[in-house]
Structure 1
Amino acid sequence: MSEVKIYRIYGFALFSHDKLPEWRKFVVEIRAIKKEHALEKLYSEFGSRHKLKRSHIKIVKIEEISPEEAMSRYVKTLSEITGWSYE
């Protein structure tokens, strides 16, 4: 079974491209098995939440981090789960 890793993705996104275009910085932490899966999840979430196209998202850097380095409480909590039981 594959181990889930945490990736921190740095980049820029073009918001309100039609009225007043503005490139904004972002840093996102995503849990994924491979770097490509983390990128796909990022594109999917930004497209869904902010209605951005892939061409409006520029990736600067992707790095794998340890669970202790994660800033997101959601990512930290998911990383601490070791198993589950059904009673």
Structure 2
Amino acid sequence: MKVYRVAGKFLMGEIWQTFRKEIIGNSEEEAKERIYSILGSRHKVKRRMIKIESIEEIQKNEISDPVIKYMVEKHEGG
């Protein structure tokens, strides 16, 4: 189980909205697909309107999202 921090922007009406989200995935490609899925579902944004600027794997101590942190700790058994 790896955690990735994905940053970029998506077109919301006429304005480019920036985002940064932590995602659990097995690879960068999986994290990218999950971002497309989440933003498309929540904001009704087409994939071509999402610009991913960076994807980086982060360590357990760098996680800021409490839900992701809980899931990682639970997966590791502690």
Tell me which interval the TM-score lies in, with the shorter structure as reference length.
Answer: over 0.9
RMSD between superposed Cα atoms in Å: 0.8
Amino acid at match of 1:7: Y
Structure 1 residue aligned with 2:60: 67
Q: Provide TM-score, normalisation by structure 1.
A: 0.84
Greater gyration radius: 1
Q: Deviations over 1:9-59 (max 9, x none)?
A: 01011002xxxx000110000000011000000000111000000011001
Instruction: Give yes or no for the alignment of 1:52 onto 2:40.
Output: no
For residue 15 of structure 1, the aligned residue among 3, 7, 12 is 12
Q: 5+ residue gaps in structure 1?
A: none
* Structure in which a larger fraction of residues adopt strand: 2
* Structure in which a larger fraction of residues adopt helix: 2
Amino acid at match of 1:68: N
Where does structure 1 differ by over 4 angstroms across 4 or more consecutive aligned residues? none
Q: 5+ residue gaps in structure 2?
A: none
Aligned-residue sequence identity (percent) comes to 42
Instruction: Give yes or no for the alignment of 1:78 onto 2:71.
Output: yes
Work out the number of aligned pairs and report it.
Answer: 76
